[in-house]
Amino acid sequence: MENQEYTLKEASKLLNLSIQTIKRRIERGEIQARKENTESGERWLIPSSQFLSGESVKENLPASKLISIQELQQAFSMVAAAQTQEIKEYISQLEGKLDRQSQVLERQSLMLDGHYRLVDQRLRELHEKKQEDAKPFWKRFF
């Protein structure tokens, strides 16, 4: 699945911070981003994963700043969408693992079934031989 990325300007609007503040936080390693070379120069792209947890939003929005309900709803919907996507991807991975484990179990079950048949056959042969050996000596020949 594709991870959405935001430009500095978009992140600036989302976080209600200046572009310079976001650049400083990128330089300090507080926000992870990558540079992309374009025809018009370089631009920073910030993955949506940087805004996934409430802690990230809290860290990036100073407590002294007032934000509108609309901005808060937008931030929460972005977080919810990203987390929903991560959960869907995780479920998909788990389903794949479950399918592989089911195939392994099916193969092992078939192998065990074959082993049980061999053991059963060998036990019958041993039982028949034991019954034959239990006959009196003279009945074994006549």
In this prediction the pTM is 0.38
Residues contacting residue 4 through CB under 8 Å, at least 6 positions apart? 47, 48, 82
| Backbone angles phi and psi of 4, in degrees to 5 | -70, 145
Break the chain into its structural domains and give their ranges: 5-99
The CA distance from 29 to 140, in Å, is 90
Chain segment 34-61, per-residue pLDDT in tens: 998 888 888 899 888 776 544 444 445 4
* 131 — pLDDT class (breaks 50, 70, 90): confident
